[in-house]
Amino acid sequence: MEELEVSNLPEWQQNFRSASKLKAENEPELALLYYSLAWEEQKQPDLGRELIETLLELDASEDASEILEQYRLHHPGGLVEFLSGRVAMAQGDLPAAQQAFEKALRLAPQQFEAQLALARLYATSNAYALAFQSYRQYMSLKPQDYEVNLELADLMNQFGDRKEAARLYQEVYIQQPHRTEVLLKCLYHQAFQSPGEVVKMLITLAQEHPHLRTILSIHAASVLRIAGEIEEARKALEMALSDPLLEDREAYAWLKEMLLLPLMLNSEEVRRHEQRLNQFFAQLALPDQPLVRSDYTNLEPYARIWPLFSLYAYLNLETRPWREAFGKLFQAALPTRPALQIRSYERPHLAFVLNSNAPVQTFFQRILTHWPDEAAAQISVCYAPNPTPRYEMASVLTASRPDFKHIHLSDSFAESMEQIAELEAQLLFLTEVHTDRSLQSVLACYRLAPIQVTSWLSSGTTGLSTMDYFLSSERLEQQDKPQRFYSEKLHLLKSLPTVMNPPLYLQAIPERHEYGLPEDANLYICPQLLYKLHPDIDTCFAEILEQDPQGILVLLARPDLPAVQNKLLARLEMRFPHLMPRIYLMPTMETQDLWGLMQIANVMLDPFYFGGGATSAEALGLGVPIVTWPGQRLHGRITYAYYQQMGIMDAVALNPEDYVRKALRLGMQGSWRQELSAKISANSHKLFHDQAAQREIADCLITLAKSKG
């Protein structure tokens, strides 16, 4: 009967139905054919919209623009303006998209889709106040759209009022109590202030909802770990592991043993954790079969372990044996994939995977933006899913290098891996393996290209047999057998493996009182993550303040991480209580404010054994002297490498005692500070816009790609 009814419909309606069915079956190319046939016969508004949306889905924005003009002739009004904004977004014209969405809302104020599109556009443009307003207006029209409610809450949590974000999370959780991940977000910021209260709340919820006891225990462990309550986090994981029906128990058992807070009280505590981890990694046994399902739907609990290795680096621990042991275990836990198919190219094909964050933007974006045209290579750039819109490298690189292939990786790991594999690149460059984002860590476990490379933005060696080269520099590594720190073959460039932009000089340097700092003090600043402050540096800080009665030590802390801040303060107060009035903890600040703080300081202190990277480059670009003592491993030698690049060794210390001497001389002898500052300013250009480094990096990667071409 239904077939008879369809056959009686006009031909355009039959084509419309066929197209809609094909689109629902994920066949957009065939659907487009039927939509186009129907549109030629009948210019119906719903049909036109589906045709335009399908063209946009297939990245055919120019064709969509042509249909849009036809649509405008037949159906002027708010909807066509909304579609006009969608087309402009697809073409990268954000101002035109904004104008179109705003016009759509003037014509049809209740058009919720235009309101949501405008909110997302504002967020992409970093216009957060306008984004918040548009999101709220959308929610007044669609109050039960909980996914958008969460979208606003996430944006609020990142760039707005965290209390308001918590309220929004709570509203969603009340309506959808099965979504415990929303509860976790709701409790996230509370955990830093009162982890005990959070645990009590979770216990109450577990009592009220016994079937959620295990998942709530896992969430409690996450909250407690972030809050710095490591032993309590282990207890929560033990509670989850007591459930005989717990899925992926191996992942949670590994996580329980590997948890630690990188900010330790003393060196003895570091050694105890090192012994604990040595015992754990020594007894690891490979699974008999993969633990991660073939569709990767249970990947997350396993993948969350990799970023812990980046924390170990702050403790000056030798992690290569641990990474190699866990790498074999993790690769055995993953499902296998078909063997790599190698093909030849006329030009070398290089693929880069980029996270959208500050380190990649600082150290890697310019390498690709100014890739030498004469370096004949096919380039593909793969952008990891971006959790925040803050660093818009994709739009910058897409606009500046239209000759590259640009791929936005899927939120699904399985799909993102296939996107990369389908490129069939000769060389795959994974920029940030084993950092706080686990996508690249898992990608690195597979053979997706004949040559796979990483570099200094990864947290040390990967420990993986599938990674072939680690790109570093003669300036960054020790002369005495640096290969021992790497499972990959270490490739040393003469230049630094980066090309950076210089900082902008401030038009007016701020006064010290604007930061709440005394005008007559000698300021010793260490504006690095508190995690980087190994207990061994405490003695240097104390000796500097002991020998300079006018000295003030300035550290930067995140106010939303009081557990870390309080542990550092407790550590310092336990050893040097009389110096605490001269230790200032200032909140993290915007870039311009940080540059101002650097320029009013007497000297900047580079922490060992994990020093500054971007911050050190910015300080030297502003002529600010930095005292550094290079360690054995790359992450403690970056500031030293900058000084080598500039040909200046005056502030490079030979040992901790020399570190203190040089800091005091800069802090207390204004003439030497001015002399060294002038010397740095005269040579800091050697760090930036380094065309030789640009050429060397490109040549190196092309040569490596050709080695398996």
| pLDDT one-digit tens code per residue, 262-299 | 788 888 999 999 999 999 999 989 999 999 999 999 99
Tokens of 569: 């303060």
Q: Helix 78-90 and helix 45-57: axis angle, to 10°?
A: 10
- CA torsion 683-685-687-693 (nearest 10°) is -120
Per-residue confidence (pLDDT) for residue 4, from 0 to 100: 43
Per-residue confidence (pLDDT) for residue 194, from 0 to 100: 64
Neighbours of 353 (CB within 10 A): 26
Residue recorded with tokens 């490498």: 641
Neighbours of 563 (CB within 10 A): 19
Q: What value does the mean pLDDT of the chain take?
A: 88
Q: How confident is the model at residue 2 (pLDDT cuts 50, 70, 90)?
A: very low
Per-residue confidence (pLDDT) for residue 336, from 0 to 100: 92
Q: Which residue has the higher pLDDT, 219 or 463?
A: 463
Q: How confident is the model at residue 330 (pLDDT cuts 50, 70, 90)?
A: very high
Per-residue confidence (pLDDT) for residue 490, from 0 to 100: 96
Q: Which amino acid is at 212?
A: L
**pLDDT digit string (tens) for 120-178?**
999 888 888 899 999 999 989 898 898 998 889 888 887 878 778 878 887 887 788 67
Tell me which residue of 597, 625, 623 sits closest to 516, measured CA to CA. Answer: 597
Per-residue confidence (pLDDT) for residue 388, from 0 to 100: 56
Going by C-beta distance under 8 Å and a sequence separation of 6 or more, which residues neighbour residue 592? 506
Q: Which residue has the higher pLDDT, 428 or 345?
A: 428
Strands across the sheet containing 349-354: 405-408, 378-383, 349-354, 427-430, 451-455, 469-473, 489-493
Rg (CA), the chain: 28
What is the spatial distance between Cα 626 and Cα 649, in angstroms, rounded to a whole number?
A: 11
State the DSSP code for 92: T
What is the spatial distance between Cα 257 and Cα 667, in angstroms, rounded to a whole number?
A: 44
Q: What is the largest CA-CA distance in the chain?
A: 96
Per-residue confidence (pLDDT) for residue 167, from 0 to 100: 81
**pLDDT digit string (tens) for 537-583?**
999 999 999 999 999 999 998 766 677 788 899 999 999 999 999 99
DSSP notation for 550-568: TEEEEEEE-TT-HHHHHHH
Residue range 650-675: mean pLDDT, rounded: 97
Total-model pTM: 0.76
What is the spatial distance between Cα 358 and Cα 268, in angstroms, rounded to a whole number?
A: 34
> What percentage of residues in the chain have a pLDDT greater than 90?
50
Per-residue confidence (pLDDT) for residue 375, from 0 to 100: 67
Which three-class secondary structure state does DSSP give residue 440?
Answer: helix
Q: How confident is the model at residue 616 (pLDDT cuts 50, 70, 90)?
A: very high
| Burial class of residue 297 (count of CB atoms within 10 Å of its CB; 0-12, 13-18, 19+) | exposed
Q: Is the separation of the CB atoms in 605 and 525 below 8 Å?
A: yes
Q: How confident is the model at residue 182 (pLDDT cuts 50, 70, 90)?
A: confident
| Of the candidate ranges 329-338, 372-381, 660-669, the one whose mean pLDDT is the lowest | 372-381
The answer to whether residue 482 scores a pLDDT higher than 70 is yes
> What percentage of residues in the chain have a pLDDT greater than 70?
94
Q: What are phi and psi of 426, to 5 degrees?
A: -80, -30
